[in-house]
Each structure stands twice: as structure tokens, then as C-alpha cells.
Amino acid sequence: MINYCLVTTLGSEQEQSHLITWPDSPLLQQDVLRNNPLIAEMTARAAQGKLADTGFGCGPFARITIVPQNAWQDSLTDSLLTFLRPLFATPICSNVLLDCTYIHNTALTKTLRFLFNQAHTLTDLGLKTSARSDVRLTHIDAFCSDAEQARLETLFSQQQAIANGMIAARRLADTPSEQCTPQYVVEEAQRLCTPFSTLRCEVLDEQAIIEQSLGLLHAVGKGASRPPRLLAIHYEGASHGPVRSYVGKGVTFDTGGLWLKEGAGMYTMKYDMCGAANVLGLMLCIAELKLPVRVMGVLALAENAIGPDAMQPGSVARACNGMTVEINNTDAEGRLVLSDAIAWASQRHAQTQYIIDLATLTGAVVKALGYELSGLMTQDNALRSALTTAGEQSGDEVWSLPLDARLKKQTESAIADLCNTPTNNAAISASAAWLLHHFCPADIPWAHLDVSGTALWREGGKSVASGRPIPLLMQHLLNDLDIRE
């Protein structure tokens, strides 16, 4: 874990740190830097909108980075992170001194999450034989004014906890699928939850899934040699009150089933369980912050494989709420496991405040919104507004897509209550959400987050788990608690 400290004056502890600042910062007016011609040259370069960075002649610091002033106020396009990200690919300092005297609040939250997330890289999985860099970021000093210290202390502690949850989710999602099976996810969740007395794991194995009539989850998982699981993580931060529920798609690998994907489309399918991984990370974050609330996270875990028992196009399965679904496309399996998990979650508690599901569900949402925005689909206007606001505040934004009865024909079936994909290949993302809404009772507010574009971070032709939308969901929950206090 990366530690932090808020400072209002500099001391010897900050020497040999990596200073990240802006052109007119008071930090650059210190005697030791004010008359340094190199700093003057760097300041002039940054004033022209260019990054100025050096590890030479910048004592008492080991490295100085001056980022153009407008980047510190950019909460939309992440220009500050665009400047910083390459520098941390091969860091030269274990300590960072971050100048917080001139930065937009949302830009700061994004920057903090980025820095705290440096605690995990792919090499930490131990699968690469080449030596790792000896230098890792271990400590952040944040320079701020006395007046800002109390506010920033809260912000830093929250973003550190959020980053810790993101790291747990990223580590799990990055793990190759031959290791990261449904049972492995259960065991990792149990291990990670054990230190928190407020967290309790409830596991349904393949037999319990059948006994509790989760026929859609069973249909998806029965073709694999590694059977499905349903994992419910219960957080009791309060003795009473409504339960907020989160449901995550956890398809640990998706071949497409008998509706087989092509090779290029299958390459990143170990990440088809990012929704479930992020629900786990969210629950760990809630427990770390000790929030006074009751929460349930449900992970619907299955491998969509090819085998003698694999579900077949045209088959019909029954969910735990009694509704039947015609499976006309075995590669639309995520909405099946989610439907059962949503229905199960809605029946689990007498009083549920809302259910939010998250899933890498459709490639269509990427075509619609790209890689920066998660798709939001709900018929509850209050929940839509709250999630949209939380997205703007956290920098983990959503964009609402339509969801109403005009989509009804997209899920009609001649043989069952519903079919899992529209035959006309239209409105794929919204049609999936229309299917899902049948499995949450009308008296429980429900929202669906399609995170196919945002659950992964893509750079240099490679993809890794991003940990989104944990920041969005945490901000939404924090806002919700503030409103009710």
C-alpha cells in the first residue's frame, strides 16, 4: 500500500522526492530553486503548454516535473494524467511531492487514484521472469494550505481506500482464466474479506444453484468442467436499515459457447468477470472506510465453455423468479447470469434500497460511448440523476441510454417469456437492459451499468483491468449517506 502525508511546509523529509508542480507554484519560489536557471527554463516551457521534466540539477529534489497550468484545472480530458502517466511507467523516485495548491477537485481525485493504483502492476502476478524495477512509488506527500488540510485529509483517505478496492479488483481480473475459475474467485474473496469482521461470505455451489432454481446461471455454467458459483458478500456496518445491493457479472472466461467467438474477439475474455471483481473491490472499500450502512454484493460466477453439456441455441431456461428465457444466442450469456443474480438479490432481503448491476455486457456500448463513459440504463429517474452526479464528481462518468417499453419487441419469444437477444441486431445494449429489468421487482429501484468500454485500460495495444466503476459507485454511496445524515 502507498502511504501519504499532507504537509503545509517543506522539510528534510521531502528532499530527494519527485516534485510535481505547476509553473507559478510558490514551491518554485524557494531560495534553493528561485535562482536556478534550469527551473526558469522549465517554467517557461510549461507556460507554453509543454511538459517540463528533469532529474538533473534540481536539488534538493531528485526529480522535478512542471505540468502546464491549464492541465491542473482540466477535469474532463485528463490532460494532467496524460502528462504524468508515462513518467510512472519507469519511476525514479519512491516518494512523490504533489503540489495541491492549484488543482480542480475532480482532477485531484483522478490523480490520487492513479498514484495510489501504482501499488499494483502486472508484474506483481509473478508470471514474468524478467526482473522488476527496483523503484516503486511508496509514499505521497501532498503540499497544501492550512485552510485546505482538513478537507484534503478526508479526500485522500477516501481515494486511498477506493484505490485499494480497485487494486483488489484489478489483480483478480488480470489473473489468467485457467487459474481464475469461479471457485478461485470465491476463495480469493473469502481470503480478502477475512480481515474485516463486518464482511461475511455466502456461497452457493452448483448443487445449491440448482436447488434454488437459478436456472439461467446453471445453463451458462453447466458446459464447463469448472462449475458455476453464486457468491454473496454481506456487509453489516449498521444493525438495521435497508440494504443496498450490487450485482456483478462474473464470467471467468467467455468462449461464446456454441455460438463461438472468433479468436480476436476471445483474446480479452478473461476480463468478462470485471463486473464481479469490481463488486468485490467495492465491498472491500466499504469495509475499509467502515461506512454505517448495510450492503450486499452478489457475484454471479460461471465459465461459458464448449462441452457436451453446453447450453444450445433454442433451449429454454427458467430463472429463480420463475420467468423463462429462450437462449437464441449462447454468446449473450452475461445477461443470463445477471438476470438470475438480480432476481436472487431482490428476494434476499425484506427491504432493499436499490439494486445496481455492473457488467462488461455488450460491445455495442463501446461503439456508442467509447472507452471513457460507462453506459447507464434505468427507469428510476432519481437513481439516474444520483449516479450521473456521482460520475461527474468522481471523474468516473456515465451516460444514460434509453430504456422503456419501445424495446419490448427486442426480447419477445414465441416459446418463452423472453429471448436473450434481439433478432434484428438493433439497440443491443438497451435491449440487454430491457431483458434485465424484468428480474428486478418494480418497487425496487434498479440501474444497469454496461462497463465494456471502461472496465479495461487500453494503452499500447494492450488491455489491463482498470477498476472502474468502483470510484463512481463509492461516490454515489458517499453522497447517498451524506443526504441521509
Enter the C-alpha cell of residue 138.
511508496
Q: Which residues pair with residue 303 across a beta bridge? A: 253
pLDDT per residue as tens digits for the range 9-32:
988 889 899 999 999 999 998 877
Q: Is 335 a catalytic residue?
A: yes
Sign of CA dihedral 452, 453, 456, 458: positive
Enter the C-alpha cell of residue 287.
469495509
Residue-level pLDDT at 131: 62
Which residue did the predictor score with more confidence, 134 or 437?
437
Q: Which residues pair with residue 356 across a beta bridge? A: 246, 447
Q: Is 50 a catalytic residue?
A: no
For residue 64, what pLDDT band results from cuts at 50, 70 and 90?
Answer: very high
Q: In whole numbers, what is the pLDDT of the chain averaged over residues?
A: 95
Which residue out of 261, 318, 409, 484 is catalytically annotated? 261
Residue 462 and residue 268: Cα distance in Å, rounded? Answer: 10
Beta-strand relationship, 52-54 and 63-66 = antiparallel
Residue-level pLDDT at 484: 42
pLDDT per residue as tens digits for the range 347-358:
999 999 999 999
Give the strand order in the sheet containing 315-318.
315-318, 324-327, 418-419
Which residue out of 63, 244, 335, 384 is catalytically annotated? 335
pLDDT per residue as tens digits for the range 120-154:
999 999 998 876 667 899 999 999 999 999 999 99
Residue 223 and residue 352: Cα distance in Å, rounded? Answer: 33
Q: How far apart are the first and last CA of the chain?
A: 31
Residue-level pLDDT at 485: 34
Q: Average pLDDT, stretch 40-62? A: 93
- The DSSP-derived string for 216-258 is HHHHHHTTSSS--EEEEEEEESSSSS-EEEEEEEEEEEE--TT
Residue-level pLDDT at 455: 98
Beta-strand relationship, 229-236 and 199-204 = antiparallel
Q: What is the CA radius of gyration of the chain?
A: 24
Q: How many CB atoms within 10 Å of residue 425?
A: 9
- Entry pTM: 0.96
pLDDT per residue as tens digits for the range 442-456:
999 999 999 999 999
Q: Report whether pLDDT(483) > 60.
A: no
The DSSP call for residue 66 is: E
Residue-level pLDDT at 284: 98
